Amino acid sequence: MSFPKINPTTTNSWKSLTELAAHRKTLQTYFAEDDSRAEQFSIAWEQFFVDYSKNHIDKNIKDALIGLAKESGLEAARKAYFGGDSINQTEGRAVLHTALRAKANADIRVEGENVVPEVYKVREKIRAFSQSVIDGSRKSSSGEAFTDVVNIGIGGSDLGPAMITEALAYYKNHLNVHFMSNVDGDHVMEVLKKVNPATTLFVVVSKTFTTQETLSNATTAKKWLVDALGEDAVGDHFVAVSTNITAIDAFGIQSENVFPMNDWVGGRFSLWSAVGLSIALAIGPNHFEALLEGANAMDAHFETAKMEENIPVILALLTVWYTSFLGAQSEAVIPYTQYLHRLPAYLQQGIMESNGKSVDRNGKSVSYQTGNIVWGEPGTNSQHAFFQLMHQGTKLIPAHFIGFAKSLHRNQDHHDKLMANFFAQTEALMNGKTETQVREELSAKGLSGDALEHLVPFKVFTGNKPTTTLLIEQLTPKTLGALVAMYEHKIFVEGVVWNIFSYDQWGVELGKQLASVILDEFDLENSGNHDPSTAQLLRHFKKLKKS
């Protein structure tokens, strides 16, 4: 099956959208003109209610966006994605994170072989291992139960497990799970400071097992453990997750303590694989499997729902609309739950490492904007930080508001206040406040004349700021799995339409290569060949280092 390589600007829909972009109305006008707008631009699916009516679209724009997806070959691309074709063509690999959460009876083939039985074998290993650590039957080298787990990994081998572990903290057991990612030795020492070698389990996660940060951190952690407990303790205290079995062996981790993963899983999409071992340890295997179940339900929705009612398709097309036609540079993700405080950071890797590309699938530079900058912080904290710019700044920032109808601790008073803010913000961003309203408000406060007029322009909100509201019943492993899978498929659809390869990440290589060159030069008297700015900085650094 071939993966489409269509330049989107050559489609009829692209041309229509360019014209439609010039004739948009404000959100306030769209709502005033159509009573059914809210229902028309909403999707109810399982525990999700997605209201995208506060976006700069009307029926014609939505139809043209769906036309663009069709003309870009989305249907064929989706079949290739779920079917295990090598759609990551620059690395010659399939992209099958969906197989990691497939039903046991699914048949998903990579080079003719059904991968699902192997997925379930690894899942069984995760279940048995995490259960034994949680119930204390698996002992440390001193015969004690483990109290702490340290996940050592970076990028996809850190962000997914870290984000989910935080997000599902409510479901956590007694194990304290820590994350060591940065090669910054201060980060390493701060984590080690918190744990006791005798009762700490290290999970070294690296798809390639060649990543400088992870190997350095694992080596330091191993030395710290050996200094405290002796060489023999390593076998009991270290397990690894990787595709690179030889390198793990060289590191000294025994083969029975290795959790394999496959090269058809990209790092940033790997939390569903053995990379999620720390998640299973933190919340137990049942909750981990419920997370996978939720993702699988979203996979089925994405694979089968018609485009008009397909959540990832609609959200992706909105992003394409804002990015490629309306000039938006970024997109905010504002979860109204503190549990999801790492979601924006996790999505930054997922979205920006995937779609931060400027060469299309034909190897040509693109002539349109792709990718987008994603950022955010939980509400209501973010309201007291950057919302000023969203309300009255000069930038177009489409935002996702993610909220939950029921809180977990059932503190209704707090939850009502939180959710009142959740709804109020999207309404305020859309409606704004007119000059007339400002004048009325100020005169009700007793102001008049010049004093009143002077303040009016500063107190006006133009409104017309786009938001999409994702209202979900409750934050559970299942709904979280569906939410994360929703973003994964959104990334896929955007990449298909933009005609870029979403599943490689060559852009992170150059900096890594130069870092190893510079590292080797630190001990030399003179640095190698660098630009004058870098050379000056290196000289200054070496001088300060010695002082």
Compare residues 158 and 236 and give the one whose CB is closer to ligand F6P: 158
Half-sphere CA count of 485, side-chain side, radius 13 A: 28
Active-site residue 543, yes or no? no
Three-class DSSP labels, 252-266:
CCCHHHEEECCCCCC
Catalytic entry in 213, 353, 377, 488 = 353
CB of 98 to ligand F6P, least distance (A): 18
CB of 218 to ligand F6P, least distance (A): 10
DSSP 18-50: HHHHHT---HHHHHHH-TTHHHHTEEEETTEEE
Compare residues 11 and 214 and give the one whose CB is closer to ligand F6P: 214
- Which backbone phi and psi does 404 adopt, to 5 degrees? -120, 135
The angle subtended at Cα 498 by Cα 497 and Cα 502, nearest 5°, is: 100
Q: Report d(CA 107, CA 217) in Å as an integer.
A: 39
Q: Report d(CA 431, CA 427) in Å as an integer.
A: 6
CB of 329 to ligand F6P, least distance (A): 22
Compare residues 289 and 353 and give the one whose CB is closer to ligand F6P: 353
Tell me which long-range contacts 80-87 makes (C-beta under 8 A, separation of at least 24).
80/1, 80/2, 80/3, 81/492, 82/108, 82/299, 82/303, 83/1, 83/108, 83/109, 84/108, 84/109, 84/110, 84/115, 84/264, 85/1, 85/3, 87/3, 87/503
Catalytic entry in 384, 409, 545, 546 = 384
Interface ranges with ligand F6P (CB under 6 A): 153-157, 206-208, 211, 214, 267-268, 353, 505, 508
Compare residues 240 and 317 and give the one whose CB is closer to ligand F6P: 240
The angle subtended at Cα 447 by Cα 441 and Cα 448, nearest 5°, is: 110
Nearest to 199 by CA among 275, 271, 137, 148: 148
Active-site residue 289, yes or no? no
Active-site residue 512, yes or no? yes
CB of 215 to ligand F6P, least distance (A): 8
Compare residues 11 and 244 and give the one whose CB is closer to ligand F6P: 244
CB of 410 to ligand F6P, least distance (A): 37
- The residues with which 50 forms a beta bridge, in sequence order, are 43, 470
Compare residues 207 and 415 and give the one whose CB is closer to ligand F6P: 207
CB of 257 to ligand F6P, least distance (A): 17
Q: Report d(CA 349, CA 311) in Å as an integer.
A: 21
Residue 173 DSSP code: -
Nearest to 197 by CA among 227, 217, 175: 227
Compare residues 299 and 353 and give the one whose CB is closer to ligand F6P: 353
Active centre residues (catalytic): 353, 384, 512
